[in-house]
Structure 1
Amino acid sequence: MQRFNIGLLLALTAITRAENDCPRIISRSGWGARPSKHVEYMKIPVEYVVIHHTVTPSCSTVSMCVDRVASIHSFHVDTNGWSDIGFSFLVGGDGNVYEGRGWHQVGAHTYGFNRRSVGIALIGEFTDSLPPRIQLEALKSLLECGVKEGELAENYKVLAARQVSATKSPGLALFQEIQTWPDWVENP
């Protein structure tokens, strides 16, 4: 697996955060993504956000999260045969956001909703406990940033993957948490 200069990576991404008041977003090249085999673009601004968890061990440092995202990417591409990582973004327990397919590409995260939603996965398993506060704050900051930059509709709606797919994602504890958010909707 390719290693990166994490100090340089954080210095470069911190500039982005200061300029646009968005969370630190580690680019695809920052975590070593392979090029996508197929790209399909979404209509912007996006109306829905679907929240997932990765059902993997969590991560609390940049190097751990980079390894976890790269592993998920390999699983999606090499095992599932997908053209790229399925999620639009992944949020680590280190407080960073990792770019998957990003704002503009149709993902492979929620069958039937991929063309009209951004799929955001929190790295970890959140059935019995909530993600760390820093992870939840990074997610909320990403959503605010998406609205400010015109990527998400101002009246976007948050859904849990379990609401629109046969899954237990994003875990019961996280599902109960997002039901308290003002942008969560019971029915899409």
Structure 2
Amino acid sequence: MDRRSFIKKSVGLALGLSLLSLPELASKASAATKWGKTRFRIEENDFWFAEEPSRRRETNRIIVHHTGTSQDRDMSAEQIHRLHRDSFGWAGIGYHYVIRKNGTIERGRGWNMIGAHASGNNSDSVGICVAGNFNVGSPTDAQIRSLTNLLTTLCGVYNLIPDEMGVIGHRDVNSTSCPGDMLYAMLPQVRKRVMKNMGLDLPEDE
């Protein structure tokens, strides 16, 4: 068995009864719970969208972004929502989650809705936006902790392997510098932390 097949099997076995089912996740989204010892809250929003997003039927990967503003500054989900809807003419915020500089996780689109964050790759993905420009600055420690915790829970909920296929940067699927050189360089270590949080061992490839 190769390493990815082993991990996929391990993720499925680990799920058991310890994770929320998707309907339960929907009803408890305001206090999104943890995998193992991972505990955090999601600040909920009730945004109005110019066009109601469609429901996502499958989730095969998580795509990490940065806001990429001219300066490395904080942005809220509400600010991004207004920018996307009122200035860009989109339905509303394209990301499912926004991680602020202080580590706060805010709701963007509904957890089960199709996002608008990676052209041609939205129908089966979750979009996480880390606030800042990581071509000129670095994520805060609080942001990396929150990103790790959120990825741990999402990978568990959606039965994803936190590897180079399951957790990717925006630049991996579109022609862009997003999520910035500094955050992108940190993704391998973030993936390892998520794997550790999930209690998954990495056998040697045969």
Q: TM-score range by the shorter chain?
A: 0.7 to 0.9
Cα deviation, 1:130-177, whole Å, max 9, x if unaligned, reads 2011111101111112234x2x22325111101111111000011111
**Are 1:161 and 2:175 counterparts?**
no
Q: How far apart, in 2, do the equivalents of 1:35 and 1:79 lie?
A: 13
Q: Which amino acid aligns with 2:184?
A: F
Determine the structure 1 residue equivalent to 2:80: 72
- Which structure: larger Rg? 2
Determine the structure 2 residue equivalent to 1:12: none
CA 23–102 in structure 1, closer or farther in 2 if over 3 Å, else same: farther
Task: Choose which of 74, 86, 90 in structure 2 pairs with 1:82.
Answer: 90
Q: How far apart, in 2, do the equivalents of 1:133 and 1:170 lie?
A: 16
Q: Which amino acid aligns with 1:54?
A: T
Structure 1 gap segments, 5+ residues each: 1-14, 60-64
- Number of residue equivalences: 157
- State the shift of 1:114 in Å: 0.3
Determine the structure 1 residue equivalent to 2:48: 34
CA 142–36 in structure 1, closer or farther in 2 if over 3 Å, else same: farther
Q: Which amino acid aligns with 1:115?
A: S
* TM-score after normalising by structure 2: 0.68
Q: How far apart, in 1, do the equivalents of 2:112 and 2:50 lie?
A: 13
CA 128–179 in structure 1, closer or farther in 2 if over 3 Å, else same: farther
Q: What is the root-mean-square deviation in Å for CA atoms of aligned residues?
A: 2.4
Task: Choose which of 33, 42, 53 in structure 1 pairs with 2:66.
Answer: 53
Question: Is the Cα–Cα contact under 8 Å of residues 94 and 115 in structure 2 kept in the other structure?
Answer: yes
**Are 1:24 and 2:37 counterparts?**
no
Question: Is the Cα–Cα contact under 8 Å of residues 16 and 22 in structure 1 kept in the other structure?
Answer: no
* TM-score after normalising by structure 1: 0.74
> Which one has a larger percent strand, Structure 1 or Structure 2?
1
